[in-house]
Amino acid sequence: MSKILKKASSSFSVENANKYSSYQLSENPFPTMASVNESSPEKKYNGSIYEESIREEEYKKLASNFLEVAQSNPDHLRLGFLSDTSYIGRGNGKTSFLVNLMRLINKDYSLDLSHDSNKCFSIYFSPDGGGSVKTFERFVDYFFNALIKSNIISECLAILRYEAIDKLGWQDFNAEEHFSSDEDIVVKLTDDEWFKNNIPYYKREITEKILENSNLSSLPADFPLLKDLTILTKLISQKDFENYFKSIRNEKLKLEFVFTHLVNFFIAAGFNGSYVLIDDFERIPDFQSAMQKKDFAIQLRTVLFDGSYQNSRIGFYNFIIALHAGVPRLIQEAWSLAGMEQRVSISGNGQARHIINFEKITDKHAIKLVKKYLNEYREGVYEGDDLYPFNSKSITIIANNSEMNISRILQNANNLVEFGINSNAAEIDEELVAAFFSKERQVEPEEAVKSISSTPSLNLADKVKQQK
């Protein structure tokens, strides 16, 4: 018989397709590799499953010293550190914290968080490792790419055009009928075809009205927005800003574009600040020479504090940098030589306003974490124990065997769900957990699965001593 017509001798059983039903779960709720990828469509990987109470103290300090302070205050903090106090390596939850902080800020552009005193957007980025980011110019490339990814330039173009048309008068155009949401405004007012077919003004007229804003009076002649003054070109979009940035070969001009001209552009659109969240910062100094570390710190000081850039004058961009334990000592000398230690100490303790210590979690935190993931994947209407198939004692054992490392807790929970099902266990109690870890310790190192959370921890304190 033809292979395309022949049937397989076995088939799937739809009733038994979900092996996690015995635990009242739609699937294994825990990630196999507990590292956050904000772009992932799966909530267990993109950081959207987040237990706020675990980092309540850290958030309160950050909100009090950054988010709730008016940007108009000349003494507002422009640089802060999310400083990990644990030397057990990666996986303590900093990435989830930063990603969710960015989402929280962008939800209402910080207006709700600052009692309407600030309208700020937030961006997040993590530099690649392997020595790909040794210079400040390369760092700015990542910074700008994060701006593009956030779509904030498109939003600002839409805001400026909407306000300009409003000042000119809508004529017969009914804005409420054409725009169903904020997203709809952005999409339509940055679309060349829709703009030409619906807006009762030429783009030149609208751009001239936009340029009456005093914040845009010093834009260079080649700034992308000014191309809308010409007749035979398409409506300028965020892509034109991206292409313009890529075309800049001179480092000083690149810095002026990002830290002066874009700042004025954002201010013209109604924003008075931005929170720039930088993760995995150690990937930069890890591969820098002593001179490169110093140059980087000097340029950071220049764009944030005492340069000729607009950002240096008003502090539009507020940097929050995540530091793993030991990293401050890796860059302390360069930081001091660059004059940054006097401005924003990197070696200060947790009492300093700009340093938010990221502490190791507790047993109670671990129980809340596991509960959060379980409840996200309950099958149907579930009214049983929130911790089932685990219990508080078994979770505590998992947490302690994971050195209170969030990534390891989640990955071990994933493995234990599989272990429990394969063992036909009715629940994952203390005995089962003990048996699992006993079996794990018997596995030879070369047979163990390699992953971020299963590889040996790197003691950064020892690494610093070795470099001295």
User: Which tens digit of pLDDT belongs to each residue from 306-316?
Assistant: 999 999 999 99
pLDDT at 175: 77
Query: Cβ distance 123 to 148 under 8 Å?
Result: no
Kindly state the tokens that stand for 174.
């009914």
Crossing angle between the packed helical segments 238-247 and 152-168, to the nearest 10 degrees: 120
DSSP conformational letter for 378: B
How far apart, in Å, are the Cα atoms of 141 and each of 23, 144, 222, 258, 295? 47, 5, 20, 10, 17
- Between the CA of residue 168 and those of 2, 109, 175, 208, 229, what are the distances in Å? 72, 27, 13, 11, 16
- Neighbour-count burial for 140-156, b at 16+ CB within 10 Å, e otherwise: bbbbbebbbebebbbbb
Strand 317-323, strand 355-358: pairing: unpaired
Q: How far apart are CA 106 and CA 271, in angstroms?
A: 12
pLDDT in tens, the chain (468 residues): 577 777 777 665 555 578 999 999 999 999 998 788 888 889 999 989 999 999 999 999 999 999 999 999 999 999 999 998 876 667 789 999 999 999 999 999 999 999 999 999 999 999 998 999 999 999 999 999 999 999 999 999 999 999 999 999 987 777 778 899 999 999 999 999 999 999 989 999 999 999 999 999 999 999 999 999 998 889 999 999 999 999 999 999 999 999 999 999 999 999 999 999 999 999 999 999 999 999 999 999 999 999 999 999 999 999 999 998 888 889 999 999 999 999 999 987 768 999 999 988 999 999 999 999 999 999 888 889 999 999 999 999 999 999 999 999 999 999 999 999 999 999 999 999 999 999 877 765 544 444 444 445 455 555 555 555
pLDDT value at residue 454 = 46
Structure confidence at residue 378 (pLDDT)? 93
User: Which candidate, 101, 122, 79, places its Cα nearest to that of 318?
Assistant: 79
Return the domain boundaries, the chain. Answer: 24-37+45-50+363-447, 68-360
Whose tokens are 């502090």? That residue is 315
Helix (H) or strand (E) holding 124: strand 120-125
**pLDDT for residue 14:** 54
pLDDT score, position 453: 42
CA pair distance 293, 466, nearest whole angstrom:
18
pLDDT value of position 232: 83
The answer to whether 387 and 373 have CB atoms below 8 angstroms apart is no
Percent of the chain with pLDDT over 90: 76
Predicted local confidence at residue 90, as pLDDT: 73
Integer Cα distance of 323 and 371 in angstroms: 28
From the list 243, 232, 176, the residue with the least C-alpha distance to 203 is: 232
Position 85 scores a pLDDT of 83
Residues 6+ apart with CB under 8 A from 417: 20, 23, 25, 28, 29, 30, 389, 428
| pTM, to two decimals | 0.88
CA distance 77 to 315: 8
Q: What DSSP character marks residue 258? A: I
Residue 100 in contact with residue 145, Cβ under 8 Å? no
